[in-house]
Structure 1
């Protein structure tokens, strides 16, 4: 199968620290993903989110049937246009590439988004990944998954793409590096699973973007800052940071209505993100500091707007006010 665009990088499989140092020296308080990629590549890129119909082993009985406490017991929470299994994978990719080319975007990544997108046989996954990489102007893929669903055979396939010149990302659901909290969340994986994935991906040149939730039940400020340090020490490549959102039809909703959990208010969250960023290495690319794709009709709490650009601006202003930056308080 012919494959699409490739990007050959001298720093393949790692973040270019020279670019980060330049961004930092220019006074930017956060190593933002969009800024970094524009400097690295010289043009705009876009992630094409697709739904390939994957389930979750924590819901389908492979590991458990209950799922995580913050995840709906049935269905999916998706509000990305054209990221829907009612369209073929080809239709999802082509439609979004065409629409975003009209906006001036030049190159793309195919982002396998909802579900656990490595919860299948290596043979089936390779077929999907080969297909996604066959499109013109696709630089690579990003794969949303869990730390316990990345066996060596699957990582070996991804490593081969890296060797061919593609940029491969794992969007890894981490949430926290504290096993006590992971157990409470019913994640059914451990912090050691996260460590293994980060180390194995680093060896193979596969980039990892970790998903972290701030404001988890019974997590102290010190625990959250420890998560920041651990991930920095492990040299994770990027992070998406989210508040804990209570949505309908979840175990968390039951806990919330019993009065056993209270969401962070907007000011608390903004200050917490700023604290977290100060304790994260500047060489960790920040892809998000909030999420704005939660449908309002199912969102219960928090009541404040989650719009990520607005939250990012508020966090940036707070760091400027403090005269600090991402990584100011990080020591390896």
Structure 2
């Protein structure tokens, strides 16, 4: 089994990592900026997993994950990368895989170029990622559907031009009871709320989206009516693997900083690096990183190979998200009181890492999926 990257993958990784400074966090920037979004597209992050014929880069899951990992390790703003990942995996991929040919032709080039921003309108106030319990309803009318309901925590919601959303079309349909839609922001009856005040991932604005008798034409149905579960689960395979490559790059940066700090900082007459508890903590951080990386790469390889990646995706998401939180907290312990000073950036690492165990399915949900994959 070959664990090494090809020369082409290494070159792309190095190039992306070096260019990522263009997307570094900007404390002077307030809110969403289209110029930074277009620069994200320039690095290929908005269309990485889209064929070239539709305006993308044509990368598979593993190469897409490596692109996001490289951008993160190179210093790109985590919130901006999260916004790009939500756009690509939760919205662009469903359009690519399930939209009608004319809809793909109309939307994909603009989504890949950064001309359009997509928002993932799945979560509701009373439900998370359970497509079978959606209170948003889609009522069949001539030529399409009328949507009624409220979506919360919509990634890119306040600034999106297009929303991929899900609604119940048959309350008694079970697995086949929901349908996915691609809805334009300007559709009558759609109202996007202001950005929520979040403690982390600030560059990815999130907000509420309300549908009130919002008409969606038939050509904007993704897949067939009743295939909402399939559309969502397919997008989640990409999101729960490729998106979390962001946290591989982030952990790599944090560990590197902690090693440097441990070498330079002295306490009790010794370098921190010479204190066994500190060395042990750093070893654990490295172990978590590499374990999660192996699982994530395996999950992406299963996707690229056309296999059922469900078990590997759940294990990768669980391992990487939990590692991101644990490593950020360990970094706080290594930096001590300085971790609470904004100039060192450790408190930001903590704030950006904490949501990782919640979005894209909580850690408890991933454990349930793993148990199911084991035959329980």
TM-score, with normalisation over the residues of structure 2?
0.24
Flag the structure with higher helix content: 2
TM-score (norm: length of structure 1): 0.27
Higher relative contact order (CA 8 A, sep 6+): 1
